[in-house]
Amino acid sequence: MSARLANGGSLPQSSGTAWAAITAPGAGPIWDKTSVEARVDPSQDQTRLGTSLSKSLPFSERYSLSLENGYNLIEQGVVPVPGIIGRPAQNYATDQSAKLSIADTGTSFSAGQSLSSSDDKWLRKVGAEQKLFGGVSISGSIGETPLGTTNKSVTAGFKQSW
């Protein structure tokens, strides 16, 4: 009873998101790494399942090229309408990217493209990243949006692994 009074007359609602991710070796000479991620968000009535396959190709001690293909399925629930049977909406997406890394400078350049079933057109993107010191880096990118405008981004971050 006190829970109803504290919550405006209705029972309190809890929300949360569950997710799991796994990374595994690839399939020999075809790709190096496989990643799978699953996410369930009941508050948004959304489920995501994604996977990516990547291959690293070192040119020398100084240069390497990484290729990645990603595939995602997003299922969004629908609000039922009386008299109409609702079905969840599904959106499929794929992305492809290449990243050239220069080891001794901490610099990398990337180019990629993505295609979503909701946009139905390839969206291209290029970017660069510079690792500065102690896990601090800065990156920038420029890409296309579904409306045909340009999307520009500059970010700085800190990443520590242990």
Render pLDDT for 82-124 as a digit per residue (tens, 0 to 9): 666 666 678 899 999 999 999 889 899 999 999 998 887 899 9
pLDDT at residue 128, rounded to an integer: 95
Question: What SS3 state is found at 144?
Answer: strand
Torsion of CA 79, 81, 84, 86, to 10 degrees: 0
In a domain, residue 31? The reply is: yes
Which residue did the predictor score with more confidence, 102 or 29?
102
pLDDT at residue 70, rounded to an integer: 94
Q: How many domains does the chain have?
A: 1
Separation between Cα atoms, residue 156 and residue 134, nearest integer Å = 13
Contacts of 141 (CB under 8 A, 6+ apart): 110, 125, 126, 127, 128, 152, 153
In a domain, residue 5? The reply is: no
pTM of the model: 0.69
Containing domain of residue 103, as a range? 14-158
Which residue did the predictor score with more confidence, 142 or 5?
142
Strands 46-58 and 33-41, by their bridges, are antiparallel
Separation between Cα atoms, residue 22 and residue 67, nearest integer Å = 19
In a domain, residue 19? The reply is: yes
Is 145:124 a contact under the CB 8 Å cutoff? no
Q: pLDDT averaged over the chain? A: 83
